[in-house]
Amino acid sequence: MPKANELKQGTAIEINGEPYVVKTIEVRNPTSRGATTLYKIRFTHMKTRQKLDETFKSDDMLKAADCSRCNVQYSYQDGDTYYFMNTETYEQYSLSAEDLEGQTDYLTDGLDGIIMLLMDDAALGIQLPTTITLQVVETPPAMKGASATNRTKPAKLTTGLEVQVPEYIETGEMIKVNTETGKFSSRA
C-alpha cells in the first residue's frame, strides 16, 4: 500500500473499488509551522478515462490497483498511437497520445526501463524511468565571463521538450532529465 508521497506518474491506485492511474502530481507545501505537505493528484479511470482530482496528506495510505506490470521498450509512433514491445515475450501494445498525457515528450526510439500497466491483458498506461537521457538540439550559447551563480537558460531537446539547463550546457550535449519533475538532472 503506497503512501501519497510515494506516488509517481503512471502508478495504478484503487479508489472506491475502481482502478485509476496517476496522471499529474502537484505538491503543495504550506508555509505555516506544523502544516502538512499536501499532494493534489489528478487520476484517470483506467477503463472509462474519466478524470478525478483528489488531495492527500503525505502519509495517507492508498490501495494499489490489482493490475499486472511488465517491462516494455518504446518502439515507434504512428499518428497519435504509440507502440511498445514487451522485452520478454515481444508482444506489442499500443496507447494513444491521450493515454500518455504528459509523457510523450520523454519517449525516444528504443527507450528501455518503461513499465506497462495491464488489466485483463489490455494496456492502460506506462511508468517512465525516473531519469532519461536526451540530446540538446537548441540552446543559446554560454555567456563568456558569466559568474558562477546558479543561472539557467532554455534548451530544446530531441523530443521537442523544453527544459531549463545551467548556462554551461551547449547544443549537442547529452543531458539527464527527471521525468517526474520535468527538470534538468545532470550531464549524461
CATH number of the domain at 139, please.
2.40.50.140
136 and 114 co-located in one domain:
no
Are both 181 and 146 inside the same structural domain? yes
pLDDT tens for residues 19-47? 888 888 888 887 777 678 888 988 888 77
Helices (H) and strands (E) counted in the chain, each on its own, are 0, 15
Dihedral angle computed from the Cα positions of residues 55, 36, 150 and 183, in that order, rounded to the nearest 10 degrees = -30
Domain of residue 98: give its range: 68-127
C-alpha cell at 39: 499532494
User: Of the candidates 64, 85, 102, which is a domain's last residue?
Assistant: 64
Amino acid at 137: V
- Total count of domains within the chain: 3
The percentage of residues in the chain with a pLDDT greater than 70, rounded to a whole number, is 95
Task: Give this prediction's pTM.
Answer: 0.74
Measured between alpha carbons, how far is 71 from 146 in angstroms, rounded to an integer?
44
Mean pLDDT for the stretch of residues 39-60 = 85
Instruction: List, for residues 146-157, the tens digit of each pLDDT value.
Output: 555 678 899 999
- Kindly report the CATH number assigned to the domain that includes residue 51: 2.30.30.30
User: In whole angstroms, what is the distance from residue 33 CA to residue 132 CA?
Assistant: 36
Q: Are 157 and 174 in contact (CB under 8 A)?
A: no
Closest CA to 69 of 129, 131, 130, 127: 127
Q: Nearest Cα to 10, choosing from 100, 112, 109, 108?
A: 100
